[in-house]
A and B are shown apart, each in its own frame.
Chain A
Amino acid sequence: MAPLVPKTGDAIFASIDRVNAELFTLTYGAMVRQLLTDLEEVDVVNKQLDQMGYNIGARLIDEFLAKSNVSRCVDFKETADVIAKVGLKMFLGVTASVSNWDPEGSSFSLVLDDNPLVDFVELPDTFQGLHYCNILSGVIRGALEMVSMKTEITWIRDMLHGDDAYELRVKLLKQIPEEYPYKDDE
Chain B
Amino acid sequence: MAGTACFIIVSKNDIPIYEAEVGSAAKKEEASQQHQFILHAALDIVEDLAWTTNAMFLKAVDKFNDLSVSVYVTAGHTRFMLLHDSRNEDGIKSFFQEVQELYIKILLNPLYLPSARIASSHFDTKVRALARKYL
Contacts and interface: CB of A to CB of B under 8 A. Distances in A.
Contacts of B28: none
Interface string A119-138: 11111110100000000000
A37 B105 CA distance: 22
Nearest to A130: B111
Contacts of A121: 109-111
B108 A26 contact: yes
Interface residues of B, number: 10
A96 interface: no
A33 B119 contact: no
A26 B112 CA distance: 12
A121 B108 CA distance: 8
Nearest to A125: B119
A90 interface: no
B54 interface: no
Nearest to A160: B111
Contacts of B110: 26, 28-30, 32-33, 120-121
A36 B105 CA distance: 21
B13 interface: no
B120 interface: yes
Interface residues of A, number: 15
B133 interface: no
A36 B111 contact: yes
B111 A32 contact: yes
Interface in A21-77: 26, 28-30, 32-33, 36
A113 B122 CA distance: 21
A177 B120 CA distance: 50
Nearest to B105: A120
Interface in B76-135: 105-106, 108-112, 119-120, 122
Nearest to B116: A124
A125 B134 CA distance: 30
Contact of B109 (A28, A122, A125): A122
Contact of B119 (A29, A30, A32, A124): A124
A30 to B, nearest CB: 6
Max chain A C-beta neighbours (<10 A), residue from B108, B111, B119, B122: B111
A21 to B, nearest CB: 13
Nearest to A119: B108
10 contacts: A30-B110, A120-B105, A121-B110, A122-B106, A122-B111, A122-B120, A122-B122, A124-B119, A124-B120, A125-B119
Interface of A: 26, 28-30, 32-33, 36, 119-125, 127
